[in-house]
Structure 1
Amino acid sequence: MGRVFLVGAGPGDPLLLTLKAKAVLEKADVVVYDRLVSQSILEFAADAAEMIYVGKSPNHHTLPQREIDALLVKKAREGHTVVRLKGGDPFVFGRGAEEAEALRAHGVPYEVVPGVSSVTAAPAYAGIPLTHRSLAAGFHVVTGHECLQSTGTPWGALAESSQTVVILMGMANLREIADRLVHFGRRGDTPVAVVRLGTTPEQQTVVGTLESIADIVAQSGIEPPAVIVVGDVVRMHDQLDWFDPKAMSRDERVAASGATSL
């Protein structure tokens, strides 16, 4: 019996990959990886490793989740060391828990290797602290996917809270999310930031309010993947914005883009 490692690849910049993630990648017989994992991270795997792409994009899944679960079980039962490589952290909207459940149900040994999540990394690279003693004592993290049909997301409580709200997978419903928060009582002039491809050379950040952000994003042409940040901490962006993708060194740009040359 082999072993499966559920590994977080981080938010995009390969230099944010953890040392443990790199170590298990180098020993993997099989790497099962997602869409947002950069090529430069995949290159840490041995040349002989079997590389299996199971990426998901909106409205298209290479493999259904059940088949991914079955694949992990099959490869481990063949005696392989398997790395299931996910963007960000495997237990933050990454279905890592579902895969762990499937492995446990089939008696397959596994380990979890946490990764740096875009929840914190993308705002940080945009100069937006999620907490600040004068602005927010905490933050909430939710998914915006299919928000209008969701009964599990407490939009009313989020609107009433003064804390920061971080929304992943919410770009398709950005206007509806903003309207819903205002409907439930959040001020229309509450600052909002959208950070696209945070930590990478393609990072883009736009700032507005709950009332204006949907129009600003539409005019800017920003597309997913992006992290949405709602709250007064967004006001810190102008003061603390430190990351300039254009100013990255050649080596940093090559590594972060996953390219082998410029």
Structure 2
Amino acid sequence: MTGKVYLIGAGPGDLDMLTLKAARCLKLADVALVDDLVHPDIRAMLRPDAEIVPVGKRGGCPSTPQAAIEQRMIDEARAGKTVARLKGGDPFVFGRGGEEMLTLQAAGIEVEIVNGLSAGLAVPATLGIPLTHRSFVHGVTFVSGHPHQDGDEPNWQALAQSGMTLVIYMGVKRLPLIRAELLRHGLAADTPAAAIENGTLPQQRQVLSTLDALEQDMSAAGIHSPALIVIGPTVALASCRPSALERSEAPLQGKGGGIGNESKWLPTELAQ
């Protein structure tokens, strides 16, 4: 009998953010293919006899080929095993879950999606940064800063003029291009911006800055991948929530002067 594959989102890192459904499905797995950004302690939630297969992927590092991951899932399921494919965040938010789902379905393998809390939602909240706020923005856009090698660049002009909070995944290496494109297409140089490394984990570090100074401030603070970049007026609210920042070791403001004139971005009742 053919087995089943669960595409499971493990959340942004903090184990407390794993869903109850994900924890339940982990107990069913005979084999677990685990991404690099999944918290290592999550392995304790698997059965003691479950086989664990690391299939890590990080930019600039040796990675397991995607085709090999997909073939391993097919082979294990055809052998009658229950497979857990563990991904950081949510499998359908820059997690290649859609590609894996289609490949498995084409091979006749049953697939169930187990959503996880995406870093784009959870990580800004650690600093008290709301992605939407009626006084600031009418929406949020999640965008990959690392397009497929055969794909087009994001429409930076449309993003710069959208009036939305921009949450950029995998954007650290390409920040010089992203910054230049957003500025070229009219996004204000003093737009509040943040970079958050290892979000939700004890080793989280971050810097609050502006679009124009973010690259310089990240370099000064030593912020590296994996890091999330957030750009937009609501980043200014981080300075209104000092209690949310006490556990951080990294400075909130870099050499570029932090988020600058917060009152420009804050509603009247907060700016006073």
Regarding TM over 0.5, the answer is yes
Of the three residues 223, 247, 252, the one matched with 1:245 is 247
Task: Identify the residue that residue 113 of structure 2 maps to in structure 1.
Answer: 112
Contiguous gaps of at least 5 residues in structure 1: 248-262
1:179–1:210 Cα contact (<8 Å) kept: no
2:264 maps to what in 1? none
Residue 169 of structure 1 pairs with residue 190 of structure 2: no
Aligned pair in 2 of structure 1 residues 148, 131: CA closer, same or farther (>3 Å)? farther
What SS class does the counterpart of residue 58 from structure 1 fall into?
coil
Structure 2: segments with no counterpart, 5+ residues: 250-272
Task: Count how many residue pairs are aligned between Structure 1 and Structure 2.
Answer: 247
Q: Which residue of 1 aligns with 2:65?
A: 64
After superposition, the C-alpha distances for 1:164-204 in whole angstroms (9 at most, x for unaligned) are: 01100000011221111000111111111111111110111
One-letter amino acid matched to 1:155: W
Alignment of 1:131-142 (within 5 A): 131-142=132-143
SS at the partner of 1:216? helix
CA distance in 1, matches of 2:25, 2:206: 33
CA distance in 2 between counterparts of 1:72 and 1:164 reads 37
In the alignment, which residue of structure 2 is the partner of 1:86? Answer: 87
In the TM superposition, what is the alpha-carbon distance from 1:246 to its structure 2 partner?
6.3
Q: 1:196 to 1:246 in 2, by over 3 A?
A: closer
2:188 aligned with 1:187: yes
In structure 1, distance between residues paired with 2:102 and 2:27? 25
Q: Is the 8 A contact 1:147 1:173 kept in 2?
A: no
- Compute the displacement of 1:61 (Å): 3.9
Taking the aligned partners of 2:23 and 2:148, their CA distance within structure 1 comes to 35
Task: Check if 1:35 corresponds to 2:56.
Answer: no
Q: Is the 8 A contact 2:8 2:113 kept in 1?
A: yes
* 1:213 matched residue in structure 2: 214
1:203 matched to which residue of 2? 204
Contact 1:191–1:208 under 8 Å retained in 2: yes
User: Displacement, 1:147?
Assistant: 9.1
- What is the percentage of aligned positions where both structures have the same residue? 43
1:126 to partner: Cα distance: 1.4
SS in 2 for 1:171: coil
Task: Provide closer, same or farther for how the CA distance between residues 54 and 230 of structure 1 changes in structure 2, counting only shifts above 3 A.
Answer: same
Distance 2:92 2:245 in 1: 27
Distance 1:77 1:147, change over 3 A: closer
For 2:236, the aligned partner's letter is R
Is the CA contact 1:148–1:176 (under 8 Å) kept in the aligned structure 2? no
SS in 2 for 1:99: helix
Give 2:48's aligned amino acid: D
AA of the residue aligned to 1:168? Y
Aligned residue for 1:257?
none
Alignment of 1:50-61 (within 5 A): 50-61=51-62
Task: Name the TM-score, length of structure 2 as normaliser.
Answer: 0.87
Residue of structure 2 in register with 1:178 after alignment: 179
TM-score using structure 1 length: 0.90
Between the aligned partners of 1:170 and 1:3, the Cα distance in structure 2 is: 34
Are the equivalent residues in 2 in contact too, given 1:12–1:200 (CA < 8 A)? yes
Give the distance between the partners of 1:113 and 1:215, measured in 2 at CA: 38
Distance in 2 between residues matched to 1:2 and 1:56, nearest whole Å: 25
Q: CA deviation at 1:60?
A: 3.0
RMSD of Structure 2 on Structure 1 (CA)? 1.7
Segments ≥4 residues shifted beyond 4 Å = 146-150
Shift in CA distance, 216/131, structure 1 to aligned 2, threshold 3 Å: same
Alpha-carbon shift at residue 62 of structure 1 (Å): 3.5
Distance 2:95 2:149 in 1: 21
Structure-2 change in CA distance of 1:149 and 1:188 (3 Å): farther
Q: Aligned with 1:43: secondary structure?
A: helix
Residue pairs, 1:117-128, within 5 angstroms: 117-128=118-129
Report the residue type matching 2:31 in the other structure: V
Provide Cα deviations, 1:60-99, integer angstroms capped at 9, x if missing partner: 3432101111000000000001000000000000001110
- Flag the structure with more relative contact order, 1 or 2, with Cα contacts below 8 A and sequence separation at least 6: 1
